[in-house]
Amino acid sequence: MKKPAGQDLLIVLALAAITALAFAPVATYPFIRLDDYGYVVDNTHIHEGPTPEALTWAWTTFEKANWHPLTWWSHMLDYRLYEADAGGHHLTNLILHILNALVLFGVLRKITGARWRSALVAAWFAVHPLHIETVAWISERKDVLSTLFGLLAIGAYAAWTREGGTRRYVTTLLLFAASLASKPMLVTLPLVFLLLDYWPLNRIPDLRDGKVLWNRLREKVPLFVLSVASSAVTVAAQRAGGALSDVENVPLTLRTANAAISYWRYIGKMLWPRELSIFYTYPSLEGGAGWSAGLTAAAVAGLIVATVLVFMARRRWAVIGWLWFLGTLVPVIGLVQVGRQAMADRYTYLPLVGLFIMLAWAGGEVCARFANRRALRAATAVAAALTVAACATGTRRQVGYWQDSITLFEHALTIAPDASSVHNNLGVELVLVRDWDRAEHHFQRARDIAPESPEAYFNLGRLLAGRGRSAKAAENLKRAAEIQPDRAASHFHLGLALRQDGRPEEAVLHLREAVRLDPTWVAALNQAAWLLATSSDAAVRDPATALRLADRAAELTEYRDPNTLDSLAAAFAASGRFDRAVETATVAQRLATAQGNQRKAAALGRRLEAYRRGKPWVTP
């Protein structure tokens, strides 16, 4: 017979092996353009780190509508190790996920004494298909990192309850703070500690003993203070990033209905993980159908009845498992709506542990009740193993949808065909692979489904402009600018489309508006200056303003960009200062040649000839 320590080691090795096998393909996958580029690929702070300046930035920024400095630090370390090799970043996520499964097993094993039930919970956690999104999406580093610190905090808390000591309590506090600094998802962890006091730590023998309850709450005050502070910072970050939905867009009644129904949808997907997607349409938004009053009432009543039944069962593990699931989902269940999704697989990462505990301990009780029936116990063990194998197989298959952005979004549309944002994201990906026709189709679908969303108009307009259909491009870009008038990019590209369509007077108005909204945007400054300096339309030409804008663009590029110097030379010529025009164009031509841009150098050569003859450059 194997010694207990040997059995635990075998369980640990088995957990690591099945998790690695289930998720192995992710190590070969690229970055997903949705968020991964903002978090890693295009984020200069991540590329610079870990420098003192970048590390400080991580603690002070609300970028991506979040405050999670330790997550930023982890991305910086990854970039130092792997640079832009996505496989390395994926591997870190997978390693952290494996560690989470092992720590979960270790903590449950320690506080419950139940080896095989703890192993089963950890195995389900490790390979359940609902956890693919957290592991396969580099941007969800915050989930795996926050959960690691959270599980370690549970272990530290359990040690403190057994042995006491300020050091152990401070360790718990620091690990909890690290979890919140990775992602604020676990703000409810102090309540989880309270649940664990009830079972399996048995520090609350009787719920009717008010004195004991008060003592258990009082000792957690520092933890609750951290939760409140983290919640306040999170709301500020999401409000600053525009992630919080207005009450007018998503009223409380709709949010409450969606929350109640989402609980049951999560349970359903836990039991039968099919039709998993990166995006689930929110009722009445993005083409979603509103929840019926009857379904809402049934969902709410069902939660109440289930809770009552759990308490009536007089099984502490059932109470804790159910309340763990309900409570840890509260921050993301949608009562405070963030984004446009109804629910998300990633939100279940730690909450499902509660349901897994209920199932594993229920199975354990069946085995204990029929201890003399070896065949029944064996059948229960085989059934448990088969569920783990089924989850691992499903995960290995489902993870294939994450092989690239196009595959991911196409799969999402098979589940939510009227998801405007998914059509839009797929359109962007198709543009990048030059599949213009399909991209146009998906942008049009996104626009038709959500006619008040500016992004589809913007992307469709840019695509049409690139295909030479300037009138239609201007029509869509104008609508994007009307919906979101303070977005400089909409005015900028509208200006370019109008100029392409032969409407320079309208074009210059929008180019100047783009400059007003973003005074340091070099491209907007440069395009506005060029049009004001070279237009053949006297009503548009404004040499003085052109000179001011062109000089600002050249200054921002340290007078080393041939394009901005080209516009500056044209502005000098339009102002009659041909000596400066020749001098500036000569420098621009030299820079273009040095950069290997022969086409630009040749164009500057033609303009130089005009300036030397005392003639400004005029475009039709």
State how far the Cα of 269 lies from the Cα of 258, in Å rounded to an integer.
16
Quick check: bond before 454 cis, omega within 30? Answer: no
The reply to whether 196 falls in a domain is yes
CA distances from 63 to 58, 67, 189, 332 (A): 9, 7, 25, 19
Q: Is residue 84 over pLDDT 50? A: yes
The burial class, CB within 10 Å (0-12 / 13-18 / 19+), for 536 is exposed
Q: What angle do helix axes 488-500 and 454-466 make, rounded to 10 degrees?
A: 30
Residue ending a domain, among 401, 422, 453, is 401
The reply to whether 588 falls in a domain is yes
**Of 385, 285, 395, 406, which is closest to residue 334 (Cα–Cα)?**
285
Average of per-residue pLDDT across 469-475: 98
- pTM comes to 0.92
Sign of CA dihedral 281, 284, 288, 289: positive
The reply to whether 194 falls in a domain is yes
Inter-residue contact 531 to 504 (CB < 8 Å) = yes
The burial class, CB within 10 Å (0-12 / 13-18 / 19+), for 402 is buried
Q: How confident is the model at residue 314 (pLDDT cuts 50, 70, 90)?
A: confident
Indicate the residue type of 389. A
pLDDT at residue 73, rounded to an integer: 98
Angle at 14 between CA 9 and CA 17, to 5 degrees: 125
The reply to whether 2 falls in a domain is no
Radius of gyration (C-alpha) of the chain in whole angstroms: 30
State how far the Cα of 247 lies from the Cα of 199, in Å rounded to an integer.
39
The reply to whether 334 falls in a domain is yes
Residue ending a domain, among 401, 432, 465, is 401
pLDDT at residue 288, rounded to an integer: 56
**Of 552, 528, 549, which is closest to residue 540 (Cα–Cα)?**
528
Average of per-residue pLDDT across 322-345: 90
Inter-residue contact 565 to 547 (CB < 8 Å) = no
Mark 273-291 as b/e (b = at least 16 C-beta within 10 Å).
Answer: beebbbbbbbbebbbbeeb
At 381-408, the pLDDT tens digits run 899 999 999 999 999 999 999 999 999 9
pLDDT at residue 342, rounded to an integer: 87
pLDDT at residue 337, rounded to an integer: 73
Q: Is residue 205 over pLDDT 70? A: yes
Q: Is residue 313 over pLDDT 60? A: yes
Q: Is residue 528 over pLDDT 70? A: yes
Q: Is residue 247 over pLDDT 90? A: no
Q: Is residue 1 over pLDDT 50? A: no
The reply to whether 530 falls in a domain is no
The reply to whether 433 falls in a domain is no
- How many distinct structural domains can be found in the chain? 2
Average of per-residue pLDDT across 422-433: 97
Please state, for a pLDDT cut of 70, what percent of the chain lies above it: 97
Residue ending a domain, among 369, 401, 433, is 401
Domain limits at 565?
545-620
The reply to whether 474 falls in a domain is no
pLDDT at residue 243, rounded to an integer: 65
